[in-house]
Amino acid sequence: MIVFWFLIKEGFRGLWRSNYAGAFSIIIITLSLILIGFGYVAARDTLVMVENIRSQFDITVFIQRETPPVELENFTKELGNFREIEKIVYVSSDSAAAQFRAEFGEDIFDILDYNPLPPSFTLSLKPPARNLASVEEVVTRIRQFPIVDEVKYRKTFLELLEKYQRLIFIAVVTVFIILTMISIILASNSIKMTIFSRRNVITTMKLVGATNNFVRAPFLIEGTLEGLGSALLAAVIIGLTFYFLNNYLHSFTGYRAIVSYRFYGGLVVLGSLMGLVGSTRAIRRFLE
């Protein structure tokens, strides 16, 4: 236990003695964490926006005119058995005419002297089924019913939506990995400068019989503390930025950034890992 507390104290002392090198490491990791944090929130909200667009995606099923009410009722029951369908809205011919009048300001009877609009069903799908493969499967099954005249859905729009959603996800993961690796390399290089300035101390410790683990431990603690300090600083900057955005710019941008404590906890864990991995890479050279 005494050795453990000695190593902890040495880690704190090393961080204090690192001066400019330690400050440089903290700045680099802080900037990287800020970019990662903002990038994560922006990507998350973009994907949420895409999912909200998906939630407004409907399938319209047009029914043959003069279909008997009994067959309509049976078809409604069949639609209710589709596990992919979340909501079913029936639109009669009269309701369709009323919608036409509300949207275009003209009565369909004044134009054609009769109502050509067929009855229809508007189907909303459950979230897991809001993808092109599930939609096409549902449409194929619906088209098999004899009373169905036509089924319409925005296939091209859904294809573009899925394409860009995948691109956004790939971009987010790629940027996250690149920024994390750059942060670890820069932190490692800056910690190397700190360790290099104390190389004589390391040599002396090894000459008196100190094991590699005993020599390594204070530097690992020092690197972890640098990462932790960077994460706390990045969390404060990101939090203040979001506070300013939500309270002073929301009326102009219409955007509100919402993050939980888990987000800041993730930053703390990520920053600490960056410092730990960076110091591990840096000390390895001096213990070979």
Residue 5 has pLDDT above 60, yes or no: no
pLDDT in tens, 241-281: 888 888 776 666 666 777 788 888 888 888 888 878 777 77
Measured distance between the N- and C-terminal CA atoms of the chain, rounded to whole angstroms: 27
Helix locations, the chain, DSSP H = 2-17, 19-55, 69-80, 93-104, 108-112, 132-142, 155-197, 199-207, 212-244, 250-253, 261-284
Q: What integer pLDDT is reported at residue 6 of this predicted model?
A: 45
**Structural domains for the chain:** 2-52+161-287 (no CATH), 58-153 (3.30.70.3040)
The average confidence (pLDDT) of the chain is 76
Q: What integer pLDDT is reported at residue 4 of this predicted model?
A: 46
Of 126, 101, 124, the C-alpha closest to 112 is 101
288 burial level (CB within 10 Å; 0-12, 13-18, 19+)? exposed
- 147-180 burial, b for 16+ CB within 10 Å, e for fewer? ebeebebeeeebeebbeebeeeeeebeeebeebb
pLDDT in tens, 125-161: 888 888 888 888 888 998 988 888 888 888 888 888 7
226 Cβ contact partners less than 8 Å away, ≥ 6 residues apart: 15, 22, 25, 26, 29, 187, 191, 275, 278, 279
